[in-house]
Amino acid sequence: MTRHSFLLFSLTILQIERGERIYTTHCVGCHGPDGAGTPDWRKPNLDGKYPPPPLDGTAHAWHHSTDVLKKTILKGTPPEMGSMPAWEGKLTEQQ
């Protein structure tokens, strides 16, 4: 069993549906409807910031710990690195 299939196996249908709603509301604008991100996500934009990476397992999120991913979601990316907004105070701990 792969890590991905284990994760899907350990989530309930309600959790998956709630995650889809949250993603559609808050994330799809930058990461796209299927999590593909920006095609040239490895190249900084003219402002020096990196565009949104894919969230489909083809980028770098898979190698970060849950704590690092949670911090990135809550605090956003460092302003000199990217444009991910901080979701702290906008999303609940459960979300």
Q: Which tokens hold the place of 52?
A: 């949104």
- Model confidence at 8, in pLDDT bands (50, 70, 90)? low
Tens digits of residue pLDDT in 37-61: 988 999 999 999 999 999 888 888 8
Q: What share of the chain is helix, strand, coil (3-state, %, to 5)?
A: 40, 5, 55
pTM above 0.85, yes or no: no
The tokens for 66 are: 């849950």
Q: What is the mean pLDDT of residues 77-90?
A: 92
